[in-house]
Every structure is written in C-alpha cells, then in structure tokens.
Chains A and B, each alone.
Chain A
Amino acid sequence: MALVTLMRARIWLSVIALLLLGGRGGVGQEQNWCIVCHSEVKVEYQESIHAAFAVTCVSCHGGDPLTLDVEKAHAVEAFFRGTPQRLEIPDLCASCHSDPLKMKPYGLRTDQLAEYQTSQHGKLLAQGDVRVAVCTDCHTAHRILPAWEPRSSTHPENISKTCARCHVQRDHGVHGAALAQGNTKAPTCATCHGAHGAAPPGVEDVSRVCGTCHIAERTYFEASSHKKAMDEQRLSECVSCHGSHAIEPAGRDLFDKVCVRCHGPGSHAQLVGQKIKTLLAAADESLREATQILQQAQRKALDISVYQPRLIEARSYFLQTLPAQHSLDLSYIEEMTRRARSIADEVRSGLYALQGGVAIRLLGLTFVWIFLLLLVGVIYLTLRERQGERL
C-alpha cells in the first residue's frame, strides 16, 4: 500500500514538473505522458530530432499517451505494440520514412527501405537473420539525430565507431587520418560501402567506387595496359596497389614496394615503374627548390610577380602527371614532367639572377666604408692637430 502511494506521489510530482517545464522537450510534449514513467529514455528522446518535430512515443510503440493509467496506456485496444521486434523495425521506420507525403516537408529521401533491402544487411534480415544491423543499430532507438549533427552516430566523424559496433574498426589509413583532422568531406565507411544499401564492393566495382572521387586516376587507369590484364586475372584494380582500408599516402616508394609483387625485379614492366618514379622525383625536386627560392625572394621583398604565375604553371603540369602515372604512358609522363622541370628551372635561375644584386651591394658597401674610414681618419687628425695647437 505504501509502495502504491509512493508510486502515485512520484507520478503526480512528475506531472507537475512536466507542466512547469512544458514545451522544453519539443512540440506536443504535454500530450506524451509516456515519459512520466519511462524516464530512463526521457533525456535521450528529448534530444532527438523526433521530439523536435513532435513525433512521439506512440508513433513507434502505439498505446495511449494521454493517460497515466498503466493498463489503459498499454492496452491492446490502444494499438499498443511494445518494443518492436528487430524483424519489424525497417518496415516500422519506413511507414513514415518511405511515405513521400510525410517526408516532403523535411526534404528527406524516401528510398532508404528500398536501398536497405538491396544491402547485405537487408538480404540477411529477409532470410530471418536478426543479428544484422537494422535502422536502430546505426541511428539508435531514441536519441535519433540528423547526420549533420556532430553528436549523431551517423555523423562522418562517428561512422567508423558506429560500424565498429559489429565490424572491425578500420579508421586508419590516409582517409581515416583526413577525417581525424576534422575533414568531414573525407570518405567514411559509408562513402565506399554505401549507407542504407551497404555492401562490400565487388572486385569489378572497386575502381568505380574509388573513381567516384579519384576521377582522373580512374580515367587514366582504364586507358592503361593494367586494366585489361587485371580484368583477365580478376585482380582488384585500385586495391591491388593501394590496399583497401589501411590506404597509405600514395608516395613514390610504392613503385619500389608494389610493382615487384607482380613484376619480377629487372623486368621491363618494373623498369618502366622505376623510370616513372625517377621522372616524378626529378620534377618534384625542381619544383620544391624553385618554391623555396621564390619564398626566400618574397621575404626579401623582391619583385616576384613574373615568376609566381610561371611556377603555378609548372606545378599544374606536375599535378597533371600525378593521375597520369596510372596510364603507364611513359612518353606523356616524360613530356609533362619535362615541362614542369624546365619552367621550374627557368624560375629558379631567374630568381637567382634577381638575388645576384647582393654581391654588387656588398661591393658598394666596401667602398662606402673605405670612404667613411678615411673621413674618420681626417677628423681624427684634425682633432689631434687642434689638441696639439692648444698644448
């Protein structure tokens, strides 16, 4: 009896608190008495996008949200559904999210369920495997936040952790590093595998997945002799050289590490790789040196207006060569790196000539000092003469 009284007192206190704080939890909270008893999800729910747009507990769980009577609230007549089964969750979410009329005001897509059904997750769920991810595993059940919100489990910076709840965490490599530095445009798990239609890309699809961002690289690769050979041997294109998850920055050392995996040391193909590496290194070195001298000249306030655009031109030739190395077209790479190098060398020698004036200035300074010291000598002698006269 005392327990019942205590329960009632708690309920009424909660009601009074809710009325006093009315409206803080979002629109229509005064009609949602469920959270009076289910206080364990209250904070999570009130932070969610659903609470902000008055999508209350009843939308997913059914029941009567207007009563504090436990039995009436959970009555079958009130279409009380309880905790939805994992098998039901995609359809339950889709009852709103696949309805164009309901989603139109929010500008949300309505093809998530269709995509989910094509995913590995969806296919296994259809077979009755309830261990696979459903909507609530990635978006959470109550604290559903839009993907742009940094606290959201689907925000780019949190995606790898969300996927890692079931899969091995693979947020290392060049993409993971970019993401860790706060670049939210860097690719996440969902960028390559898809979000709702998540599936590992097949061997033939890999270049397309990488090529959505690395467009130039893909174009050059498809024109290369590698394309046909790899297709024939069913080798994974980009992944064969760059790896899949732990992708290292594409440095020139890849030519030493990767080519020999398929081509024997000293073979023609391996030598072509080494030639490309040498050409790129030489152009890069020339550009670096020219940039360094340009910065020095800029600090010395020399007029570099002629050389700055020339160096940009040289750098653009070099940047064109970087994706072009995937074509293995030695003559084209040779031509591009030659252009970059010759302009960089021209800039470098021009800037050296500009700084050459320093020697002339030092010579002038020597003459100035000779004159000044002679002047000091004359003054000193006059001073001595005056002192002699006086004595």
Chain B
Amino acid sequence: MSALMRVRELMRAELRRPAPRYLTAWHLLGGVMLFVLFLEITTGILLMVYYRPDAAYESVLYILNDVQLGWLVHGIHRWGAQLLILLVLAHLLRVYFHEAYRERELNWVIGVVLLVVIGAFAFTGRLLVWDQVAFWSTDAVRRVIAEVPVVGKAILYFLWGGTELDTEALLRFYVFHVGLLPWTAIGLVMIHLYLVSRQGLYQGTRSSAPNPVQTYSEVVLRGLIWVVLSFGVLVTLAVISPVELDGQADPLVYRSVKPPWYFLPAYGLVKLVSGALGVALVGMGVGGLVAAPWLGRNSWVAWGIGMVGIAAVALLTAYGWRW
C-alpha cells in the first residue's frame, strides 16, 4: 500500500470516529478562524508581490487600480483582518464563559498572546498603506508611547526606529508585519492546536441537552459550511465597501483621526487617563486577561469578573468613540 493510500485510510478512519456529543456551532469558531488566518496569509503573500515600502502609497494605488483583481485581494485582506479579530474575541468569550480554560491554563495564555499578536498585525498593517488616516492614527500612538517614562523612548527606537514617524518606521512596520509576526502567529497556533489535541476538548459543566451521536466527518462538513459562508461575507464586503484611501501621508497636514473599532477600548482608556498611567492601565488590562483563569477559580466569581470586564470594555469603547 502506498504512503498516500495509508494517509487516506488514516484520515477516513479519523473522520469516521464518533465525535463528542457536546460539540456545538460555537466549537467551530476555531476552525473558521484558522481558515481566515490562512486567507490572510495567502492574500498577504499576493499583496507582497506588488507592495513596495519605498513607494508605499503609490504601490497600494497600483495594486488597487492596475493589478488584475488587486482591489479584491486587498479588500479581502483588509476585511479578513477585521473578521479575524472579531472571531478571536468571540472565541475568547466562548472559552471564558464556557470555562473551557479550566485545567488548560497554558493554552488560555497562548490564546491571549495570539490575540495580542493579531492586534499587532492590525496595528502594523494599518500603516502600510501610508495614507493620512494611517499616518496620523499611528502617530497618535507614538505620542502616547513617547510620554511613558524610562522605557518610552526605548520602545519607540525598537518599534519606530527613532522618535519620529517616517519612512524608516514604515519599513520597520513592514518587516514586523510580513516577517516577524506571521511566524510568531503560525508557531503559536500550532502550539495551541497541539495542546487542544493533547488535552482534548472541554466537555462543559452547564451544557444543555447533548447533541445526537455524530462523527468527526459531520463536524468537519458543518465547519465547511461556515467557512464557505465567511468567505462569501468577506468577498461581499470587499466588493460593496472597497478600500478607501485618504490621500498620501503628509506630516505637515495634521488630521485628527480615530482608531479602528478594535482599538477603541485602549484609545478610550488612554483618553480617560492620559500619560504613562493610561498606558500602564492598558498593559494591566492585558495582564488581567492573561491571569483570568487564576482570578476566577469559582464559577460565579469568574462569571462576575467576565461581565464587569465586558461592561468596562463597552464603556471604554463608547467613550473612545464619542470623544
């Protein structure tokens, strides 16, 4: 029997195995996320073929206007990033409120680190188009970091390559976006999946009536439906709401811009508590997320902490949006 046939047989055997009865649509979120991440990497590689950091804005215009279906690839990449963040947040909430992190604390921490890495993807990727909105929203973050005592300048030199936002910083962001972060994300996802396969899926404590008997092939098919639909949603968004640019970045023409929705809670917090303390509070928020499994040992305490956290994030988002 050839190796290919053996693999096929193994996969068939695996797919015919009975799946846990508590598996619901919520558990398929992780699979859809994997698909969107794959889509992001694929479209990102396609964009890299034409993107040039030394002529960033012009090359983005070239991609959008002259490259065959360049606008679609760019649109899917941009909307995909937003969908990925949304899915990661939904996955995180699902895991938290199902208390699926119990006895899987390490995997929870890796998940939170993945969330931060995906945030870093979005932050570095936003600057690459080099338009006014990208420039001034990144510069606003630079101004906040510059106020952090002791380490502020060191962070700027590491991330920006200096204390000002210029083409040097753009090149550095590009290196982070296409060089460092993808490998970090892929590595973390592999460890995350390995731990899931080692520790098994969480069976739930408050689950309602279990599903009827099912095999893994049925779970995969149900997941495929979600994958196809999410792809359709991304293509639709790329067509009906294509990428908009706000003119080439000009350091001499100031533009007051708000960050994208996923950074609004951090923006609201920094607006509310300015200076180093605001940055420290954002860091503490991420730290609190990491420590969530240890903070909520009791189910009701965990639920309470979760609700307070959601309320705080919602209020900060509203504050950031309003002001």
The interface of chain A, by Cβ under 8 A from chain B, is 298-303, 361-362, 364-365, 368-369, 372, 375-376, 379-380, 382-383, 386-387, 390
* Contact between chains at B221 and A379 (CB < 8 Å): yes
- Distance of A339 from chain B, by nearest CB (Å): 27
Question: Which of A299, A362, A380, A390 makes the CB contact (< 8 A) with B246?
Answer: A299
Known: A362-B239, A365-B235, A386-B215. A375 touches B244 (CB 8 A): no
Whether A298 lies near B228 (C-beta < 8 A) is no
> Is A387 touching B218 in the complex (CB atoms < 8 A)?
yes
Residue in chain B with minimal CB distance to A365: B239
B42 is an interface residue with CB less than 8 A from chain A: no
Known A301-B60, A369-B232, A372-B229; judge A364-B239 contact (CB<8 A): yes
- Residues in chain B within 8 A of chain A (CB atoms): 60-61, 64-66, 71, 213-215, 217-218, 221-222, 224-225, 228-229, 231-232, 235-236, 239-240, 242-247
Q: Given the complex of chains A and B, what is the CA–CA distance between A303 and B57 in angstroms?
A: 12
Determine if B244 and A300 form an interchain contact, defined as CB atoms under 8 angstroms apart.
yes
Measured in the bound complex, the distance between the Cα atoms of B232 and A302 in whole Å is: 24
Closest beta carbon of chain A to B61's beta carbon, Å: 6
Please provide the 5 A-B residue pairs with the shortest distance between their CB atoms, ordered closest to farther.
A303-B65, A301-B245, A383-B221, A372-B232, A365-B239
Determine whether the beta carbon of B244 is less than 8 Å from that of A376. no
| Pairwise interchain contact B228-A375, C-beta atoms closer than 8 A | yes
Task: Verify B247–A379 contact, CB threshold 8 A.
Answer: no
**Residues of chain A within 8 A of B214, CB atoms compared:** 387, 390
User: What are 18 sample pairs from A and B whose C-beta atoms fall under 8 A apart?
Assistant: A298-B245, A298-B247, A299-B245, A301-B243, A303-B64, A362-B240, A368-B235, A369-B232, A379-B225, A379-B228, A380-B225, A386-B217, A386-B218, A386-B221, A387-B214, A387-B218, A390-B214, A390-B215
Give the contacting residue for B61; candidates A303, A376, A380, A390; CB below 8 A: A303
Q: Is the CB of A302 within 8 A of B65?
A: yes
Instruction: Report how far A375 CA is from B239 CA in the complex, Å.
Output: 20
Contacts of B229 in A (CB 8 A): 372, 376
Give the one of B221, B231, B240, B243 with max A CB within 10 A: B221
Q: Which single residue of chain B is at the shortest CB-CB distance from A361?
A: B239
Residues of B within 8 A of A362 (CB): 239-240
Q: How far, in whole Å, are A302 and B61 apart by their CA atoms in the complex?
A: 7
C-alpha gap A91/B206 in the complex (Å): 100
Which residues of A are found within 8 Å of B222, using beta-carbon distances? 383
Contacts of B215 in A (CB 8 A): 386, 390
Q: Are B217 and A372 in contact (CB under 8 A)?
A: no
Q: Which of A301, A302, A369, A380 lies at the interface centre, i.e. has the most chain B CB atoms within 10 A of its CB?
A: A301
B232 and A368 contact, CB distance less than 8 A: yes
Q: Once bound together, how far apart are the Cα atoms of A316 and B231, in whole Å?
A: 48
In the complex, which residue of chain B has the Cβ closest to the Cβ of A302? B65
Q: How far is the CA of A383 from the CA of B217 in the complex (A)?
A: 8
New A-B pairs, 4, CB < 8 Å, besides A300-B244, A301-B60, A372-B231: A299-B245, A302-B65, A372-B229, A390-B215
**Minimum CB–CB distance for B255 against chain A, Å:** 14
Chain B residues within an 8 Å CB radius of A298: 245, 247
Let me know if B246 and A376 touch, CB within 8 A.
Answer: no
Distance A376 CA – B246 CA, assembled complex (angstroms): 38
Q: Are B218 and A303 within 8 A (Cβ)?
A: no
Q: Write the nearest CB–CB distance from B107 to chain A, whole angstroms.
A: 29
Q: Which residues of A contact B71 (CB under 8 A)?
A: 301
A365 with B245: CB separation less than 8 A: no
CA distance A383 to B225 in the complex (A): 10
Minimum CB–CB distance for B164 against chain A, Å: 26
- Specify which chain B residues have a CB less than 8 angstroms from the CB of A376 in the assembled complex: 225, 228-229
- In the complex, which residue of chain A has the Cβ closest to the Cβ of B236? A365
Q: Which A residue sits closest to B232, measured CB to CB?
A: A372
Whether the Cβ atoms of B247 and A383 lie closer than 8 Å is: no
B62: nearest chain-A partner, CB-CB: A303
In the complex the two chains form, what is the Cα distance from A383 to B223 in whole Å?
11
A365 to B235 alpha-carbon distance, docked (Å): 7
Complex: A375 Cα to B228 Cα, angstroms: 8
- Docked Cα-Cα span, A375 to B229, in Å, equals 10
Task: Please give me the residue from chain A that is nearest to B247 by CB atom.
Answer: A298
Per the bound structure, the CA–CA distance linking A387 and B225 in Å amounts to: 16
Q: Which of B221, B236, B245, B246 contacts A382 (CB 8 A)?
A: B221
